[in-house]
Amino acid sequence: MTAPTRIWLIRHALVAEHARAVLYGTNDVPLCDATLAAQSAAYASLARRLPQPAQWLVTPLSRTRLTAEAIFRAGYPAATLTEEPALIEQHLGDWQGLPHAELPARLSLPAHPFWPHAGDEQPPGGESFAQVTVRVGAALERIAAARPGQDVVAVSHGGAIRAAIGHALGLTPDATLALSVVNLSLTGLERHPGGWRVVCVNTPP
């Protein structure tokens, strides 16, 4: 039996408070230093649980690289971090930097109950969550095909990880947005010859 490719997705650490006050999307915002220091046990837990060896991926945004480096400092043997742009967060176009309270007036579709906007809503100059799912899904297939039978750890973003689960399960964009993916949580996917299997979702460290 062919061994599956295992992709372990970690949502980056909590960002700074001023960044959380707005829709930051693909803006390169800093992490919350106080939370980073207070969650040493969480990083140590991830360092123990993640497979070794593994190929490590981050996105072009510094918050993913800094999260990976914190896991290394907590005990995981330092690995080369390869940037994978296709696993980046949803690009919110003209909405990036917008205070949350100002968004409802700009929506053309009813808001999602668990996300600021519907899955098919496309921000001006940005991408819809449906488009994110297509982008991330194609990346997962490419990553799995290039690393058969291997472990891959990817530090990514809440939206991109939801999209990955949605791709694996064949969910609609709005159904996917009902998933919870908290900071530092672990989601595990396996690519078998017959399709994707979900091992865990939003597992706390």
Residue ranges and CATH numbers for the domains of the chain are 5-203 (3.40.50.1240)
For the stretch 95-112, pLDDT in tens is 999 999 999 999 999 999
| Mean pLDDT computed over 10-23 | 97
Computed over every residue of the chain, the mean pLDDT equals: 97
pLDDT at 2: 81
Q: Hey, is 25 helix, strand or coil?
A: coil
Q: Is the distance from CB of 42 to CB of 188 less than 8 angstroms? A: no
* Cα separations in angstroms, 101 against 28, 49, 53, 95, 98: 21, 39, 44, 12, 8
SS (H, E, C) 157-202: CHHHHHHHHHHHHCCCHHHHCCCCCCCCCEEEEEEECCEEEEEEEE
